[in-house]
Amino acid sequence: MISIWFFIGIALAVNGALILAAGIYQLINPPAVPTVVLFHLHANVWWGALLLICGLAYCVRFAPSRQV
């Protein structure tokens, strides 16, 4: 049976990739008026990257091919 942790890895990786992509897009094309407070911190870039890394680590560690 596929491990629950593999599903969690998929969820974190996909969400992280989407958030990171959105963050990078905003970094390259910043809006004229920031839509959120603390926009200059670009939280979606580093938070998205963190989720992506964690998700990929879970996917590799709990991949169905590695299950006994």
Partner 1 sequence: MTPFLATFVPTQLVRLSSVDIAIVVFYFALVLSIGWYLKGRANTGEDFFMAGREMTAWVAGLSFLSANLGALELMGWAGSAYQYGILATHWYWIGAIPAMLFLALVMMPFYYISKTHSVPGYLKLRFGEPSRALSAVSFAFMTVLMSGVNMFAMAKVMQIVLGWDINFSIWVSSLTVAIYVTMGGLRSAIFNEVLQFFLIWAGALLIPILGLYEAGGWMNLKLQIAQRASAQYVHLWSGLGSFTTNPMGIHWTGIVFGLGAIISMGYWTTDFLVVQRILAAKDIRSAEMAPIIGAGFKMMVPFIVILPGLLGLAVLPEKLVPESVATVTGGHSYNDVLPLMLARYCGPGLLGLGVTALIAGFMSGMAGNVSAFTTVWTYDIYRPLINSKASDHHYVNMGRWTTVIGVLVSVGTAYLVMQFASIMDYVQALFSFFIAPLFGTVVLGMLWKRASGPGGFWGLLCGTLCSIGMWTWVKVDPSALRYVALSSHAKGLAQDMYQALWSFLVCVVVTVGVSLATNPMPDSELTGLVYGLTEVPHVGEVPLYEKPLFWAGVVTVVFIVLNIIFW
Site residues, partner 1 (CB under 8 A): 1-2, 4, 7-8, 10-12, 14-15, 18-23, 25-26, 35-39, 41, 43-44, 47-48, 51
End-to-end Cα spacing for the chain: 10
What are the start-end ranges of the H helices in the chain? 4-28, 43-61
Min separation Cβ 17 and partner 1, Å: 10
Min separation Cβ 35 and partner 1, Å: 6
Integer Cα distance of 51 and 20 in angstroms:
9
Min separation Cβ 65 and partner 1, Å: 16
Give residue for tokens 């390259």: 28
